[in-house]
A and B are shown apart, each in its own frame.
Chain A
Amino acid sequence: AQTVTQSQPEMSVQEAETVTLSCTYDTSESNYYLFWYKQPPSRQMILVIRQEAYKQQNATENRFSVNFQKAAKSFSLKISDSQLGDTAMYFCAFMKPPNNNAGNMLTFGGGTRLMVKP
């Protein structure tokens, strides 16, 4: 079974600064996907960024980028130029590639609450 650990329950950052959220995971799989989801107070789960384990290049989406260290089983999220709208819970999640019997379910970490201060 896979486990995902987020060791920072809460973090804060000043507007326009950069912040990094940590995530580690444990798996025996060699191919998998990793995700960061944002959950604002509306509780909607919003996909921020995705990384495929077989790709060495770190994923980037505008102000969001990851540092994927496969050997260390680490997957951190960097938010640059933080904005007030980035205030939310952030969840790291792991997914095995699907197969016909087992689907493709997500295993989530416990989350990091990020507060962006003006």
Chain B
Amino acid sequence: NAGVTQTPKFQVLKTGQSMTLQCAQDMNHEYMSWYRQDPGMGLRLIHYSVGAGITDQGEVPNGYNVSRSTTEDFPLRLLSAAPSQTSVYFCASSTRDEQYFGPGTRLTVT
């Protein structure tokens, strides 16, 4: 049981490039979320999903897309990277009353 896995662990992008952050969970949870953490701050919600085929926006969705074709996977796409998207990204999957976080991806946009 691997829990929540994220790839890559580190990534450097140039402004304007696109990429996909991968997230997978093996706990059969319906709920999954993406958060970003900027230096010295708490996590902020980007997008979330309440089940396969269902996604919605969180607090800071601009510049990101998500999809949920399977229960296990919830990728986050950066359409055209900007320096303001430099951050640490966490994926989480959850039961009704507890969230399980992945190890995070540190993204730098130059």
Contact = CB atoms under 8 A, between A and B. Distances in A.
Interface of A: 4, 33, 42-45, 47, 50, 52, 91, 93, 95, 97-98, 100-111
A104 B31 contact: yes
Count class of interface residues, chain B: 20 to 34
B104 interface: yes
Contacts of A50: 97-98
B63 to A, nearest CB: 19
Given A98-B31, A100-B50, 15 more contacts: A4-B42, A42-B103, A43-B88, A44-B104, A47-B98, A98-B96, A103-B94, A104-B31, A105-B48, A106-B33, A106-B43, A106-B45, A110-B41, A110-B42, A111-B42
A103 B97 contact: no
